[in-house]
């Protein structure tokens, strides 16, 4: 097999990154934008020692699971890799991705439950982050999402996976920025004003918080006037903020945010609890699916009578808050001071008195105490937990660890470590938070 060879292959399965896997004369080939059972004509683009990559020239026999994407830009925009596959089969593929990770990395045969589907597969994304740039000739602003594996922006006027009002607000900003002397950002030259548009939308009451990320450390009078115009144009917008980020970085938000008009938060409801969400608050982008996860964890905690619970990597203490009705005492640990301050406000808002908040790294906090908790909830970032953090969790937990993960590979790695320490993985339940992508959330119940 050589570069530029034309071959006909049948797709066997998807990788954990949603690339199709085919074999030719015993060698593995990775192919994008295909579905298992597709028979395709491909062109080899790269040959490595152990595998090759290829692009599709023609779909000869389509899989029975192929459908017409409901977004006309699906094959251009990099956000919805699986939208051309029927939703039920997407869930089957995600279950397989989790199974493959658990078997190959953790070396476990724990059955993987079928994923709990998202209650919505359209208009489910309630956080929008649109990069902004500007055309060279017409000087029009472009706002949308990046093409796959690039920083080339696809100008999107309609995105069916987010609420329509978000499209309308982005469109207004795109069409009127120039009038206020606000230019689009040029990533290569590090010039221009507006870098990103961030919208938080409440699934509970439909209100919006708009944040404009600018390539500056000061606000001009025209920018302030534009923020007020956005606020006045849309009754759903409860506040407009400016975030300052003049660094050469791919990080979206800078460290400082200033509210220009209105409120700097929206209210969101999960189960029966009210939350305050700011522009930089970590909160699930699909609140209705997140509610399924929180309810699942709450039911697991409720199996114990008045347990003590450690809520680690707590963010704004969402897990602690949603389980507060079924636990005796909860200790929420989060190293981000801003998140802890928002958690304090939410506790007061919901009249919750059995949660103790600590602004500290989880590992350092656990090393500083001697007490044990009946249950520990671990909800780390995508990189998972360190071995040191897992050791401390084991040392300070009496009965169960509930591990919530958005990355099957790091979950499998950490489960391998825990089982080698004598733990037993009871169940792994996937939840589809990110429809039409290869991402899948999982909750693992671990018996000590």
CA distance 21 to 15: 7
Tokens (6 digits) for 48: 């490595």
Distances from the Cα of 146 to the Cα of 79, 318, 341, angstroms: 8, 30, 33
Distances from the Cα of 282 to the Cα of 68, 200, 204, 217, angstroms: 33, 11, 17, 23
CB 403, CB 446: distance < 8 Å: yes
pLDDT of residue 75: 85
Beta bridge partner(s), residue 257: 243
pLDDT of residue 258: 95
CB 3, CB 45: distance < 8 Å: yes
Question: Which are the catalytic amino acids?
Answer: 406
Three-state DSSP class for 23?
A: strand
CA distance 125 to 145: 14
CA distance 191 to 296: 47
Of 280, 352, 22, nearest to 127 by C-alpha is 280
Domains and CATH numbers, the chain: 1-65 (2.40.50.140), 97-119+286-447 (3.40.50.150), 127-270 (2.40.50.1070)
- pTM of the predicted structure, to 2 decimals: 0.93
DSSP codes joined into one string, 46-91:
EE-SSEEEEEEEEEEE--TTB---SSTTTTTBSS-TTTTB-HHHHH
* Contacts of 121-124 spanning 24+ positions with Cβ under 8 A: 121/87, 121/435, 121/436, 122/70, 122/160, 122/161, 123/160, 123/161, 123/162, 123/163, 123/164, 124/161, 124/286, 124/288, 124/289, 124/435
pLDDT of residue 149: 75
CA distance 243 to 198: 10
pLDDT of residue 79: 87
CB 134, CB 186: distance < 8 Å: yes
Torsion of CA 24, 29, 35, 37, to 10 degrees: 10
CA distance 126 to 212: 17
Number of CB atoms found within 10 A of residue 109's CB: 9
Greatest pairwise CA separation for the chain in angstroms:
67
Three-state DSSP class for 349?
A: helix
Spans of the chain below 70 pLDDT: none
List pLDDT tens digits, range 39-93: 999 999 999 989 999 999 999 999 999 999 999 999 888 789 999 999 999 999 9
CB 334, CB 365: distance < 8 Å: no
Angle at CA of residue 211, ends 252 and 345, nearest 5°: 100
CA distance 340 to 332: 9
Strands (E), 245-372: 256-262, 266-270, 273-277, 308-312, 329-334, 355-359
Half-sphere exposure in the Cβ direction for 351 (13 Å, CA): 1
């Amino acid at each position: 097999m050589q570069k530029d060879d034309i071959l006909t292959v049948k797709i066997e399965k998807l990788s954990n990154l949603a690339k199709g896997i085919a074999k030719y004369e015993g060698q593995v080939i990775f192919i994008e934008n295909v579905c298992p059972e597709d028979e395709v004509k491909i062109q080899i683009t790269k040959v490595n020692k152990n595998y090759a990559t290829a692009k599709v020239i023609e779909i000869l026999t389509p899989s029975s699971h192929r459908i017409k994407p409901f977004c006309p830009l699906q094959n251009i925009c990099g956000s919805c890799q699986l939208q051309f596959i029927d939703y039920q089969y997407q869930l089957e593929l995600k279950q397989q991705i989790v199974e493959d990770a658990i078997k190959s990395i953790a070396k476990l045969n724990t059955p993987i439950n079928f994923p709990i589907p998202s209650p919505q597969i359209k208009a489910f994304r309630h956080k929008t982050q649109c990069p902004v740039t500007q055309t060279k000739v017409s000087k029009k602003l472009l706002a949308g999402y990046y093409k796959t594996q690039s920083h080339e922006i696809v100008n999107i006027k309609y995105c069916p996976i987010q609420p329509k009002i978000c499209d309308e607000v982005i469109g207004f900003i795109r069409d009127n920025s120039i009038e206020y002397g606000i230019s689009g950002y040029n990533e290569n030259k590090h010039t221009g004003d507006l870098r990103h548009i961030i919208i938080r939308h409440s699934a509970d009451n439909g209100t919006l918080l708009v944040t404009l990320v600018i390539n500056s450390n000061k606000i001009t009078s025209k920018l302030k006037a534009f923020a007020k115009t956005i606020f006045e144009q849309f009754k759903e917008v409860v506040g407009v903020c400016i975030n300052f980020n003049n660094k050469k970085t791919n990080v979206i938000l800078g460290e400082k945010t200033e509210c220009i008009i209105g409120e700097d938060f929206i209210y969101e409801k999960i189960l029966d609890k009210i939350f305050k969400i700011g522009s930089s608050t970590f909160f699930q982008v699909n609140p209705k699916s997140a509610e399924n996860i929180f309810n699942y964890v709450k039911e697991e905690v409720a199996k114990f009578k008045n347990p003590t619970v450690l809520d680690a990597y707590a963010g704004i203490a969402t897990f602690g808050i949603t389980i507060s009705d079924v636990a005796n005492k909860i200790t929420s640990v989060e190293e981000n001071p801003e998140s802890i301050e928002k958690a304090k406000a939410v506790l007061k808002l919901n009249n919750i008195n059995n949660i103790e908040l600590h602004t500290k790294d989880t590992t350092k906090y656990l090393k500083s105490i001697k007490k044990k908790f009946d249950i520990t909830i671990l909800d780390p970032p995508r990189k998972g937990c360190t071995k040191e953090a897992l050791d401390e969790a084991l040392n300070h937990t009496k009965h169960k660890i509930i591990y919530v993960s958005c990355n099957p590979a790091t979950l499998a790695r950490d489960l391998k470590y825990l089982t080698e320490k004598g733990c037993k993985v009871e169940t792994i339940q996937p939840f589809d938070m990110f429809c039409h992508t290869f991402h899948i959330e999982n909750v693992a119940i671990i018996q000590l």
